[in-house]
Amino acid sequence: MSDSESREVDLIKDPGLPAHVHRRTDTDPVAAKRAERQVAILFSLSALGTLLLIYSFIFVSDETFIFIPVMGSTNAQQLGIGLGMAIALFCIGAGAIHWAKTLMPDEEIVVQRHEFRSDDEDRADFVKTVKEGAENAGLGRRPLIKRTLGAALGLSGLTPLLLLRDLGPLPGDDLKKTNWKAGTRLVTDPGDRPIRPEDLEIGAVAQTQPEFPEGKVRHLEDIAKDAVLLIRMRPEEFNLDSERLSWTYEGIIAFSKICSHMGCAVALYEQTTKHLLCPCHQSTFDVTRAAKVIFGPAARALPQLAITVDAEGYLVAQAPFTEPVGPSFWGRLS
Amino acid sequence: MTARERVAGNVAGYVDDRTGGAKWMKKNLQKVFPDHWSFLLGEICLYSFVILLLSGTFLTFWFDPSMREVVYDGVYEPLQGVKMSAAYASALEISFEVRGGLLMRQIHHWAALIFMVGIVVHLMRVFFTGAFRKPREFNWIIGIGLLTLGIVEGFLGYSLPDDLLSGTGIRIAEAIIQAIPVVGSYLSYFAFGGAFPGLAFIPRIYIVHVLILPAIFLALITVHLMLVWYQKHTQFPGPGRTEKNVVGYPLMPVYMAKAGGFFFIVFGVTAFLGAVASINPIWLYGPYNPGQVSAGSQPDWYMGWLDGLVRMAPPLETYLFGYTISWNILIPGLILPGIMFTGMALYPFIESWITGDKREHHLLDRPRNAPNRTAIGAMALTFTLVSLINGGNDIIATTFDLTINQMMWFSRIAIIVLPPIAFIVTKRLCLSLQRADRELVLHGRETGRLVRMPSGEFVEVHEPISPEKAWLLTSHEQLAPLELPEHDGAGVRRPAAIRNKIRNRISRAHAVAVPKATESERRELEGHH
């Protein structure tokens, strides 16, 4: 303690609040008058801003476009309303602050802080009050009430959980199924036209969906699972095992378009490298090696859809997907 | 007394008769606030929140939060005849057919960005100046809560128009929910009312965005401000300013004019941005379709760091007894942010545990005088910044002609290497600045005037600094590190020996400082010159 006290004595002294320096507006009535005028001009500019807003709102057609450097072709009505509003608001603010800074008192005031801590006496009293209150209620003496109340409150907490149960159905095996079945035709998206192998040139990519029977509507939930990319390349470019090779047809290979990482559409195909890239997190898949992950955060290859042609020569699925498509989830493999 | 004064007096009297508010009003209208530009940062947040409420309310009058499928027949030709959700169609209607609608949408979006920037910079000011110390820990935690909710609120907000970009963001959020062990797919089905995307989520996030979260915001902001009011604002050190006083200007009239004026300035600037700077042009993206995506998909900046972490995560999944754990999603998407935000919320308590300081603090620290804290802050910022940069890795790669792989590997290495470097460099910088302060007090300011001594030696003339400046540079407290005993009186190791030893060591690292100049040292040196 004595050490810190001696240091305390040795400290450089607080010279106290610096003397107040008057502003020009405090001492020079001309300067004060000028400041007053400046504030008034700012407020008047604000009024002009509102007039611009009103004019643009009523008299400028919403089909008028004007060319403004940097911004390009701009809707004159929106611009007029916006600029009018900006001027109106900004100038009110600028005027008020200029007023405060030049004409309102600028002498600093010193006030004392109070300690937040209550007196020991008050604190003791508080504890006593709480204790007495609890005793008067008899919580300690009547355990039966305490226990049943606890049980009742705890149980009633289940109500909201129960009522929220119907927010959605249980997933079941919904996440593991798609609309692809053995023999389902691949149709173009958009267009819903069945595809023949000869429709695709080497290097071509097509987005497809499973063909739906007449009358069945394709919802976004279906697209979110069913989207499939068709890519055609020279068969000798494949680097696949015999099973996966048998899932292709004349150099046409099909993958789920839903990223195995977080479910974005894997939409970027680079023809020279034969890589598929997901634009969300840049997971990169090598098409020649069954969409194996070669870069990025995805942990799994894109599921491959086995395809062939049907009797009429249209591309169809040989079988459903052999694994769930899209992002991982806890029970994915079970 | 003029007639006007009489009327005012009558009104005030009428109200006071019924509320007894005169005394309270008198006291609070004279409330003193210290002045500093950095105290405006919190005000920016408050004002942009008000702007968000006003512009947001305007938007609700036209926005139709429904996923009902409609065929667009509005004035925007490229999308005419396209099937889309009613939400997207109404967002297009606001943009093209409501007078001032596009302006309001853009003001709303800009205000949200400014709100989040304001919160982050305000948080940095509070952190680096030690304003979170006792008695302001509650307000720090409320602030962290507001930051967290702000990120969620912003994300939900830009998801509402149901365009291709926002739907992609929702899809990613769904994947994060789905990755939660055991219950993920259940939670996802509850949240979306079934399979993604379903018809439920726009109406649901709408009510969260316009009612539930704003209500919580309003409550938290109210408590935040009441605490600022009641505890009185902190002030920067300076002559005449102590732990026991507040030096500043009164609310009435100075701060009413300044703070009120500043609201209009913030609103004016936001309106200007909304008028001239296009933001989130949803009509260019088209309606959401899970089978499509736009290249260069970017979240708003306050989500960018999270996306950057997800992008740089290594492709790690564990298969345990037939169950899948997606570390590549869980670590960057939930675990790391959880650690970051919990650590941030607990920091005031951690620091007080390190220093053993349980006193009230109302004078702010200059960041250099708390080297360890400043270094921790710099480390955290570096971590977040690297993540944020990686969140835009595709854009940066195409802009600067790099490959995605280079960007990704740079980030993966930098996120581990750069934060510790930032810590060390910042700490050294702080200590150097302390040394410079000490020099300045002891030897004065370099004047640039060279004088030739009779002996032929050249010396530079130094001029003593003003007493005010000398006080500012030396008024801070230099706390000694903790020295908790490892042995009791009889020389036996205490049960808490190891804990005390660790705490002593951390405390020593935290308390490292260049001894500040004292009066006697100064006098001694003055004798020399």
Chain segment B409-418, per-residue pLDDT in tens: 999 999 999 9
Q: Which pLDDT does position B217 carry in this prediction?
A: 97
B102·A78 Cβ contact <8 A: yes
User: What end-to-end distance do the CA atoms of chain B give, in Å?
Assistant: 66
B307·A281 Cβ contact <8 A: yes
Q: Which pLDDT does position B404 carry in this prediction?
A: 87
* Mean pLDDT, rounded, for A182-207: 91
A262·B172 Cβ contact <8 A: yes
Residue B297 has pLDDT above 80, yes or no: no
User: Nearest CB to A328: which of B324, B468, B470?
Assistant: B324
- Using pLDDT thresholds of 50, 70 and 90, give the confidence band for residue B265: very high
User: Nearest CB to A81: which of B103, B332, B471?
Assistant: B103
Contacts of A105 in chain B (CB under 8 A): 249, 254
Q: How far is B452 from chain A (nearest CA, A)?
A: 32
Position B484, amino acid: L
Can you give the C-alpha Rg of chain B in angstroms? 29
Q: Which pLDDT does position A271 carry in this prediction?
A: 87
Contacts of residue B461, defined as CB under 8 A and 6 or more positions apart, other chains included, come to B447, B449, B450, B451
Residue B5 has pLDDT above 80, yes or no: yes
Q: Which of A14, A60, A110 to mutate to test the interface with B (most CBs of B within 10 A)?
A: A14
Q: Is B252 helix (H, G, I), strand (E, B) or coil?
A: helix
d(CA B173, CA B306): 11
Q: Which pLDDT does position B369 carry in this prediction?
A: 96
Contacts of B231 in chain A (CB under 8 A): 116
B357 burial (CB, 10 Å; 0-12 / 13-18 / 19+) is: middle
B184·A94 Cβ contact <8 A: no
Range with the lowest mean pLDDT among A122-126, A227-231, B245-249, B457-461? B457-461
Residue B465 has pLDDT above 50, yes or no: yes
Residue B118 has pLDDT above 50, yes or no: yes
Q: Which pLDDT does position A122 carry in this prediction?
A: 94
**Per-residue exposure over A251-262, b if at least 16 CB sit within 10 Å of its own CB, e if not:** bbbbbbbbbbbb
B329·A78 Cβ contact <8 A: no
The string of DSSP letters for A316-332 reads EESSS-SS--SS--TTT
A298·B257 Cβ contact <8 A: no
Contacts of A173 in chain B (CB under 8 A): none
Q: Which of A282, A283, A292, A333 to mutate to test the interface with B (most CBs of B within 10 A)?
A: A282
Contacts of A116 in chain B (CB under 8 A): 135, 231, 360
Range with the lowest mean pLDDT among B90-104, B372-386, B509-523? B509-523
Q: How far is A309 from chain B (nearest CA, A)?
A: 24
Half-sphere exposure of B95 (CA within 13 A, CB side): 19
B253·A14 Cβ contact <8 A: no
- Using pLDDT thresholds of 50, 70 and 90, give the confidence band for residue A8: low
User: Nearest CB to A265: which of B292, B296, B322?
Assistant: B292
Q: Which pLDDT does position A5 carry in this prediction?
A: 52
Residue B30 has pLDDT above 90, yes or no: no
Q: Which pLDDT does position B298 carry in this prediction?
A: 85
User: Nearest CB to A77: which of B99, B319, B362?
Assistant: B99
d(CA B421, CA B427): 10
Smallest CA–CA distance from B177 into chain A, residue: A329
d(CA A62, CA A76): 7
- Using pLDDT thresholds of 50, 70 and 90, give the confidence band for residue B489: confident
Which tokens go with B500?
């005390």
Q: Which pLDDT does position B360 carry in this prediction?
A: 93
Contacts of A265 in chain B (CB under 8 A): 290-293
Residue B225 has pLDDT above 80, yes or no: yes
Contacts of residue A110, defined as CB under 8 A and 6 or more positions apart, other chains included, come to A17, B32, B240, B245, B246, B247
Distance of CA A23 to the CA centre of its chain: 50
Residue A283 has pLDDT above 90, yes or no: yes
Distance of CA B131 to the CA centre of its chain: 14
d(CA B256, CA B398): 49
Smallest CA–CA distance from A74 into chain B, residue: B276
Q: Which of A12, A83, A178, A255 to mutate to test the interface with B (most CBs of B within 10 A)?
A: A12
Smallest CA–CA distance from A280 into chain B, residue: B297
Q: Which pLDDT does position A62 carry in this prediction?
A: 86
User: What are the helix (H) ranges across B160-212?
Assistant: 164-179, 184-192, 201-207
Query: Under a CB-based contact definition with an 8 Å cutoff, are residues B25 and B11 in contact?
Result: no
Q: Which pLDDT does position B119 carry in this prediction?
A: 97
Inter-CA distances, A307 with A190, A228, A238, A245, Å: 20, 11, 15, 10
Contacts of B311 in chain A (CB under 8 A): 281-282, 296-297
Contacts of A16 in chain B (CB under 8 A): 239-240
Residue B93 has pLDDT above 90, yes or no: yes
Q: What rounded mean pLDDT belongs to chain B?
A: 93
Smallest CA–CA distance from B243 into chain A, residue: A113
Smallest CA–CA distance from A189 into chain B, residue: B291
Which tokens go with B309?
């972490």
Partner residues linked to A270 by β-bridges: A275
- Beta-strand relationship, B69-71 and A205-210: unpaired
- Using pLDDT thresholds of 50, 70 and 90, give the confidence band for residue A4: low
User: Nearest CB to B249: which of A109, A169, A264?
Assistant: A109
User: Nearest CB to A96: which of B96, B100, B260?
Assistant: B260
- Using pLDDT thresholds of 50, 70 and 90, give the confidence band for residue A1: very low
Q: Which pLDDT does position B484 carry in this prediction?
A: 87
Query: Under a CB-based contact definition with an 8 Å cutoff, are residues B210 and B53 in contact?
Result: no
Q: In this structure, what DSSP letter does residue B36 have?
A: -
CA-closest candidate to residue A328, choices A306, A305, A304, A301: A301
pTM score of the predicted model: 0.94
Q: Which pLDDT does position A9 carry in this prediction?
A: 63
Q: Which pLDDT does position B527 carry in this prediction?
A: 62
- Using pLDDT thresholds of 50, 70 and 90, give the confidence band for residue B528: low
d(CA B48, CA B40): 12
- Using pLDDT thresholds of 50, 70 and 90, give the confidence band for residue A104: very high
- Beta-strand relationship, A109-112 and A315-317: unpaired
B194·A221 Cβ contact <8 A: yes
Residue A10 has pLDDT above 90, yes or no: no
A81·B250 Cβ contact <8 A: no
B249·A106 Cβ contact <8 A: yes
Query: What digits encode the pLDDT tens for the residues B387-407?
Result: 999 999 888 988 999 988 899
Query: Under a CB-based contact definition with an 8 Å cutoff, are residues A254 and A230 in contact?
Result: yes
A329·B470 Cβ contact <8 A: no
Smallest CA–CA distance from A89 into chain B, residue: B268
Contacts of B274 in chain A (CB under 8 A): 82, 86
d(CA B208, CA B215): 10
d(CA B178, CA B159): 18
Contacts of B171 in chain A (CB under 8 A): 224, 262-264
Q: Which of B83, B102, B402 to mutate to test the interface with A (most CBs of A within 10 A)?
A: B102
Contacts of B192 in chain A (CB under 8 A): 168
Position B494, amino acid: R
What does chain B come to in residues? 529
A330·B325 Cβ contact <8 A: yes
d(CA B228, CA B135): 11
* Mean pLDDT, rounded, for B314-320: 92
Highest mean pLDDT among A88-92, B241-245, B248-252: A88-92
Q: Which residue has the higher pLDDT, B299 or B268?
A: B268
Q: Give percent above pLDDT 70 in chain A.
A: 97
Task: Give the full edge-to-edge strand order of the sheet including A304-305.
Answer: A186-188, A205-210, A228-232, A252-256, A304-305
A116·B231 Cβ contact <8 A: yes
Q: Which pLDDT does position A2 carry in this prediction?
A: 45
A82·B192 Cβ contact <8 A: no
Smallest CA–CA distance from B107 into chain A, residue: A82
Q: How far is A148 from chain B (nearest CA, A)?
A: 32
* Mean pLDDT, rounded, for A145-165: 93
CA-closest candidate to residue A190, choices B490, B82, B444: B82
Contacts of B406 in chain A (CB under 8 A): none
